[in-house]
Amino acid sequence: MTPWPLRTRKLAASSSSRIYTALFNFQSLLLVILLLVCTCAYVHSMFPAILDRNKDGVRGIFWKCARIGERLSPYISLCCVVMAISMVIN
């Protein structure tokens, strides 16, 4: 029986499929950011108190994303359409 590190190298070398995250694929990263902005804007329109009380700190990122989604909504919707078309083409 081979030691543990050698077994994992054999398994990794024999697998043909690779796993990519959104951090390493630029188009997926843009899609995640776009979905975050759209989701935050929707949540803020339904429940404004949730995001309004967390304007500072790490949770303030969601409030800022909601603000971007509200103020730049024509551009955000245009980006959604462009991303949808690019996903269909690829």
Quick: pLDDT tens for 52-81. 888 888 889 999 999 999 999 889 989 889
The residue ranges of every structural domain in the chain are: 22-89
Range of lowest pLDDT (3-7, 61-65, 79-83, 86-90): 3-7
Residue of 36, 39, 42, 27 lying closest to 88 (CA atoms) = 27
For position 87, what pLDDT does the model report? 84
Predicted TM-score of the model (pTM): 0.68
CB-count exposure of residue 87 (10 Å: 0-12, 13-18, 19+):
exposed
For position 67, what pLDDT does the model report? 93
Quick: pLDDT tens for 40-55. 999 999 999 988 888 8
CA 52 from centroid of its chain's CA atoms: 22
Q: What is the dihedral of CA 3, 7, 22, 41, to 10 degrees?
A: -70
